[in-house]
Amino acid sequence: MELSLPEIMRENSGQSIPVDTVAEGPSGSLPITGDMLRNAPSGEIFGMTQNTGMGWNPLLLNGSQYLILGTMGGIRREDGSPIALGYHTGHWEIGLMMEEVAHEITAHQGIPFAGYVSDPCDGRSQGTTGMFDSLPYRNDAAMVLRRLIRSLPTRKGVIGVATCDKGLPAMMLALAGMRDLPGIIVPGGVSLPPIHGEDAGKVQSIGARFSNGELSLEDAADLGCRACATPGGGCQFLGTAATAQVVAEALGMSVPHSALAPSGQPVWKNMGRQSARALLQMERSGMVMKDILTDRAIRNAMVVHAAFGGSTNLLLHLPAIAHAAGLSIPTVEDWNDVNRKVPRLVSVLPNGPVPHPTIRVFLAGGVPEVMLHLRRLGLIDDSVLTVTGRTLGENLDWWETSERRQDMRNRLIEADGIDPDTVIMSPQEAKKQGMASTMTFPTGNLAPQGSVIKSAAIDPSVLDSEGVYRHTGRVKVFTAEKDAIRSIKLGHIQAGDILAVIGRGPSGTGMEETYQLTSALKHLPFGKYVTLITDARFSGVSTGACIGHIGPEALAGGPLGRLRDGDWIEIIVDTVKLEGSVNLVGDGEQSGSTQDGAELLAVRSEHPFLAVDPGLPDDTRLWAALQSVSGGTWQGCVYDTDKIIAALDAGRQALGWK
């Protein structure tokens, strides 16, 4: 029904609305001095005027000011019910945490300020054009967050509250870049799994399973309804959101035992007050971010990432954090070295061996419990400083004998009947359970700059007796993810196939995630016999023989862009030695050698349908160009200002521009 203009402009009351034209203004006076009026910037004094205008008691305006930044989204009533939905549960309860932080700052005579930069949901944007903005959002949000921090020049320190795949990395980048300021990350926690149902990772495959006759419509509707069993927090698996929380704590940017807490619960809210007290202590002692974030802290985070079996997306985020902090950027060789030395100790969704949800990892002891094992192995540097004002070693000493540790472990036994030592295992038990190390970095004639696979996620049943995955087969090439998922749903992909999804790296799509594909292959019975290769990236919950981040990307001249349907590809991944290769080995009736493949690639043109996605927004095209000049995927998709300016200057000179 079409509404008339009078109907659109109808007033709710139906009566004339009174409008005030002046107001009394706040009572009292500003606590200013003549010296302030003579010497202080006008902005500082006008800031006091703004503060009283918003209702702050003018008698309390000389307290120290602290900024709370959050990724809150949606509008909640006091009872938690929605007035307007957020994009995802990960930012739905952030406001509750920010309130706890603010109350604690106020209790110590400080003045809390709050600002917001909300974040998207990678799960919501899977398979849509929304994915074109996912990774670029991280850089943009970090820039905006830093601008907000600098725009409150009177702040003494910053607390960043964030949860999920891009909002939390953006917040870490922002705080890492404020090197001379005290800063703390407060993780937004995790949601709980349903009593009966599927986790938020598996449930994303209901479309593919229904299409392949593995699930009824009624079951799909029921499972899809209940997967997010609590309204706040990141997903229940160790995907990018949960891994980023783990990494924040491992870097020393968060208080001990903060990652993976259950969102909305008292133990989670208490973390806000703990973090506020830690920030106040940092400010009093003169400790700032550059004291926390060091090359040794970055290395510790890489070690903890490997021990947890974390998301491959942190290969993009941890180098970016190092860059923002002015530190050495980890290389592929550094990641390889860490993964060869560090045993995987955590049994958690999605890689198991037992698919425990993240709440169980938290109750089993979380990051500090894992770090106790790593310290005994001599794999971490416990002399680094943390936001508690203490060294990591002092934090771990406290944790080892704390009442909190015992209470949490006992709760896991009481609530779920789970022995915490079967969730976070000793190195000996992990080896006994056959837990493979986390990542391998295959190279080859299709990946001369490298690639990554979470080798721990390959189904053990398709490994040989030596722990090696071998797959030689014909490839089916797709230049759009939507065509690949349609092919899976229509039954055109069978066991033994190799899928190549090309042109989906930074230049083509903003380096989209392809979890639609990996989740389908994970939960379809033939999927473990299919290999996926791409210059795109994967969700942190992805599993299976999936090789991503292939470089150079197809649209930057990478050999992946010269593949054709029916080509033979040979893939080898040694999950024990952490070595791998991905090679074209011919295009005839039988497979050939890697040399045959190299010769084919040398004379071939690009795939005829290889192109930038026509829906790619200009914002993302600009991001892709800037990050490419700055070093690209293996440098963390960052903006390196000096390199960008140098490239622009060289371009102006080459074009004869003044």
Q: Which residues are catalytic?
A: 539
Q: Contact at 8 Å (CB) between 237 and 359? A: no
Q: How far apart (Å, rounded) are the C-alpha atoms in residues 497 and 492?
A: 10
Q: How far apart (Å, rounded) are the C-alpha atoms in residues 395 and 414?
A: 26
Q: For the stretch 168-194, what's the b/e string if a residue is b when 16 or more beta carbons lie within 10 angstroms of its beta carbon? A: bbbbbbbbbbbbebbbbbbbbbbbbbb
Q: How far apart (Å, rounded) are the C-alpha atoms in residues 220 and 234?
A: 22
Secondary structure class of 546 (helix, strand, coil):
strand
Q: How far apart (Å, rounded) are the C-alpha atoms in residues 375 and 345?
A: 13
- Two structure tokens written together for 591: 């497979």
Q: How far apart (Å, rounded) are the C-alpha atoms in residues 552 and 560?
A: 8
Q: Residue 421 carries which DSSP code?
A: G
Q: Which residue has tokens 């309860």? A: 93
Cα–Cα distance list, 135 to 10, 120, 169, 365, 543 (Å): 42, 10, 10, 31, 20
Handedness of CA 594, 595, 599, 600 (dihedral sign): negative
Q: Contact at 8 Å (CB) between 601 and 569? A: no
Q: Across the beta sheet with 155-162, what order do the strands follow?
A: 111-116, 65-70, 155-162, 183-187
Residues ≥6 apart with Cβ < 8 Å to 306:
338, 339, 342, 344, 437, 438, 439
SS (H, E, C) 239-293: CHHHHHHHHHHHCCCCCCCCCCCECCCHHHHHHHHHHHHHHHHHHHHCCCHHHHC
Residue 175 phi/psi, 5-degree rounding, is: -70, -35
Q: Residue 469 carries which DSSP code?
A: E
